[in-house]
Amino acid sequence: MRETFFPDAEQSVSLVQTVIRDGEVIRKTTVAAGSEEQGSGVPGWAYFHRTPDARLFVYYGWYRTMYWWDKAGGDPWHGEFSDEPNIIEHRLVELYPDGTMSDPRPIPFEKPLQSFYLPAANTGTAPSGVMDVMGVFDHSTHKVHYGRVRLGP
């Protein structure tokens, strides 16, 4: 539809943390942003992670395109998969209480997971200094993979 009706429209993707207090937005922090037109990639799947000492991290994927499948590689909803994964890498940023954040740090998995899940406090998991990452590298195989990220000081 995009190529037919909006061929010249630039689309972008942003991950934004919004702090709301008493029903009012008091701060928005852009964690990551990109567009296909810029050619550097776009942020995708993302999760918050809290540590026992109340540090807050955002763990997210950085993708070639705005879709979790490779644009040239078919449509996984209809059983078509690309030979080349869309995921470029996983990244981690720490959000500070004053609204600033650390520089993004790549997570050097040998094969980054195309789609992934992190157990988090909002799903009943206790805060931890370790992030357990589960997901799928190759959607055509339906195999779940596991990675562990230890957070330092």
30-67: b or e for each residue (b if 16 or more CB lie within 10 Å)? ebbebebeeeebbbbbbbebbeeeebbbbbbbbbbbbe
Query: pLDDT by residue for the chain (153 residues), tens digit each?
Result: 667 887 777 778 899 999 999 999 999 999 999 886 777 788 988 999 999 999 999 999 988 776 544 444 455 544 555 556 677 889 999 999 999 999 999 999 888 888 888 988 778 889 999 999 998 877 667 788 999 999 987
Structural domain includes residue 3: no
Terminal-to-terminal C-alpha distance of the chain: 47
Structural domain includes residue 83: yes
The range of the structural domain enclosing residue 92 comes to 13-150
Q: How far is CA 70 from the centre of its chain?
A: 16
Structural domain includes residue 1: no
Structural domain includes residue 140: yes
Does the global pTM surpass 0.75?
yes
Total structural domains within the chain:
1
